[in-house]
Structure 1
Amino acid sequence: MATGKILIIVTNVREYETVGMRTGLWLGELTHFYDYALDNGFQLDIASPAGGYVPIDPESLAHDVLKELGTDRRYQDREFMDLLNNTKKACEVDVEDYDAIYFTGGHGVMFDFRDKDLAALTARFYDSGRIVSAVCHGPAGLLDVTLDNGDALVKGKNVTGFSWAEEEAAQRADAVPFSLQDELAERGGNYSIADKPFETHVVTDGRLITGQNPGSARGVAEAVVAALQA
């Protein structure tokens, strides 16, 4: 039975493990999805692997980035930003309360989305007929998901996620713990990429919906909403 609710997963990690740069949630990947789904009648809850506070990637707060699709208005919205002070713990969520799950990005997710409890939660979403979606680095949360039939979630499915070319362009190739592009492919995903780095690219394969980069978050929201309203 449809609930009209979507669960959003965000990171708790504020810095890289091997370099001093700060990271966290890429704010627009939350707000672009959140606002579109909200405007289309869905309720949204935010959870994280550890629960509690969610750090924001400082680069996602740059002036030109903040202006995209109203993220600056959300950043100035005290009530909205306070949602990131005390998020739900993902492993304590009841799948039955939601129609879909959405993994945001930001480099922080590469360090805490590969979590066995989060993987088990995601498998329950997919195996119960619900929609699983992710954007940018968010598909890191899909890498270790094993379904009831024993297959990796992404095996044989068309997927995308932050590309290695984009990693190099962002000057993060030496900071990240793995190549998301390679890991998706190694698990049997049919990985595809936009014609140029940072172009919008959204891939839908049944109930699995993925977007390549920050600019694809609204497109993922549109695809998720369309699937839920079909």
Structure 2
Amino acid sequence: MSKRILHVVTNVAQYEDDDRPTGLWLGELTHAYDEFEKQNYIQDIVSPQGGVSPLEPKALGRFVADASVIKRKNDASFMKLLENTKKPSEINWQDYDVIYYTGGHGVMWDFLDNRELQEITKNIYENGGIVSSVCHGYCGLLNVRLSNGNYLIKDKKITGFAWCEEVLAGVAKKVPYNAEQISKERGAHYEKKLIPFAPNVVRDGNLITGQNPFSARITAEAVIEALNSK
């Protein structure tokens, strides 16, 4: 039976209290989607509210958007998926082997405290599924608690967009919190590459996380390896 992947994307189109546009960093979805598609996995896309997932303009820039991004952006059927994402209430967690949280700064506002997605994530994890994220996607993991009351990331090795990368991106004063610091406060063993924006993936059992936009493909590859080893 084919494996099933649940991608999580944002609904947030701009920074709170700021007109700076944001949204899904498209490559963080397409790079993983491509790899999972090669394995003939079934893939669905959910967002906190359902419906449209806006795109981060910076991710579509000339020197950022690669062949994967351009191909998907020009694929009307694929873009329709991002215009009609599922709501968490439409998701049966039992159907999925993996949940994969994508990034883009918008997720900092709508991933952190979404109880429905937290419940889906907890259930997938506690039933032997894989929980994964890339870049800011780990914001969706920061407040997930397991049935025993502990944070899912407690005592786990993880990575995600580093605070130094926020500073270098010029948005440290615009984001609502320091995700790296919160992960440490939750008891996670946060890891990052010495060189900012270098690809990096960290696996701790069934928890697989990528550091930045350039880590999506290797994160997906790590997920595939984990599924194949089951």
The question of 1:222 aligning with 2:221 is answered yes
Unaligned runs of 5+ in 1: none
Give the counterpart letter for 2:201 in structure 1.
V
Residue aligning to 1:11: 10
After TM superposition, give the deviation of residue 65 of structure 1 in Å: 1.1
Using the size of structure 2 for normalisation, the TM-score is 0.97
Residue aligning to 1:104: 102
Residue aligning to 1:203: 202
Aligned counterparts, 1:1-230, within 5 A? 3-67=2-66, 69-114=67-112, 115-230=114-229
Give the counterpart letter for 2:171 in structure 1.
R
Give the counterpart letter for 1:203 in structure 2.
V
CA distance in 2, matches of 1:98, 1:121: 10
After TM superposition, give the deviation of residue 52 of structure 1 in Å: 0.5
Give the counterpart letter for 2:85 in structure 1.
T
Unaligned runs of 5+ in 2: none
Structure 1 contact 91–118 (Cα < 8 Å) conserved: no
Moved over 2 A (4+): none
Identity of aligned residues (%): 49
Instruction: Please state whether the residue corresponding to 2:64 is helix, strand or coil.
Output: helix
CA-to-partner distance for each residue in 1:167-209, whole Å, 9 max, x for gaps? 0111110110001110111100000101211000100000000
CA distance in 2, matches of 1:90, 1:226: 27
Matched pairs, number:
228
CA-to-partner distance for each residue in 1:80-136, whole Å, 9 max, x for gaps? 111111110023310111111000000000000021111111111111111000000
After TM superposition, give the deviation of residue 3 of structure 1 in Å: 4.9
Instruction: Please state whether the residue corresponding to 2:19 is helix, strand or coil.
Output: coil
After TM superposition, give the deviation of residue 64 of structure 1 in Å: 1.5
Give the counterpart letter for 1:103 in structure 2.
Y
CA distance in 2, matches of 1:184, 1:158: 10
